[in-house]
């Protein structure tokens, strides 16, 4: 298991202190919620802040792209220091092409699915993924109530990965 606290609830006027607290906690990654105000109703930040965060921590950066046309921005996020990138299945035309692009750039590739997205929509891609991000809330805002029905989806994903002996982590957000 890996722990990846999100900085979305951080005090950005004290971001360096917040990152040091994450490092001290024993976390493995820093989770970055990237929102564009189109795919989700909120806006957070982009590659410039990811680059600044990358300079402030030794931890790997996990960029969860909640944006339309993420393929257009993969390179910029990789260059800014993202080590892991997930995109929502609904936002790309060719998920396999997106996964291959990320892997060729030595970036861990993940697909994110919303609580209402059927697991079957991503099963044909799981063998190519480094991780599958399963949302337990609707993306776009932090502090939402956990949707317990998603637990069954997580169990089914774990069963599928184990049954097929795949090397894919499950990330839960």
Sheet holding 131-134, edge to edge: 29-35, 60-66, 82-88, 108-113, 131-134, 169-172
Q: Specify the long-range contacts of residues 41-49, CB closer than 8 Å, at least 24 apart.
A: 41/140, 41/141, 42/140, 42/141, 44/8, 46/73, 46/76, 47/73, 47/76, 47/77, 47/79, 47/80, 48/80
Residue 86, strand partner residues: 64, 110
**DSSP class of 6:** B
**Catalytic option among 33, 36, 62, 130:** 33
Does residue 33 carry a catalytic annotation? yes
**Catalytic option among 11, 71, 130, 173:** 173
Q: Is the torsion defined by CA of 14, 30, 150, 115 positive or negative?
A: positive
Assigned token pair, 151 = 């637990």
Q: How far apart are CA 172 and CA 87, in angstroms?
A: 14
Does residue 173 carry a catalytic annotation? yes
Active-site residue list? 33, 173
């Amino acid at each position: 298991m890996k722990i990846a606290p999100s900085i979305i609830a951080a005090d950005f006027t004290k971001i360096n202190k917040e990152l040091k607290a994450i490092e001290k906690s024993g976390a493995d990654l820093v989770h970055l919620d990237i929102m564009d105000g189109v795919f989700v109703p909120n806006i957070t930040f982009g590659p410039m802040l990811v680059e600044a965060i990358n300079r402030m921590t030794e931890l790997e950066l996990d960029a969860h792209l909640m944006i339309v046309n993420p393929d257009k921005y993969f390179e910029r996020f990789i260059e800014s220091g993202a080590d892991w990138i997930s995109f929502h299945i609904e936002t790309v035309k060719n998920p396999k092409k997106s996964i291959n692009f990320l892997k060729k750039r030595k970036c861990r590739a993940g697909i994110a699915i919303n609580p209402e997205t059927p697991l079957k929509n991503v099963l044909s891609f799981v063998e190519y993924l480094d991780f599958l991000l399963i949302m337990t809330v609707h993306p776009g805002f932090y502090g939402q109530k956990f949707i317990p029905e998603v637990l069954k989806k997580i169990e089914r994903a774990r069963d599928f990965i184990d049954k097929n002996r795949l090397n894919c982590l499950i990330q839960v957000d």
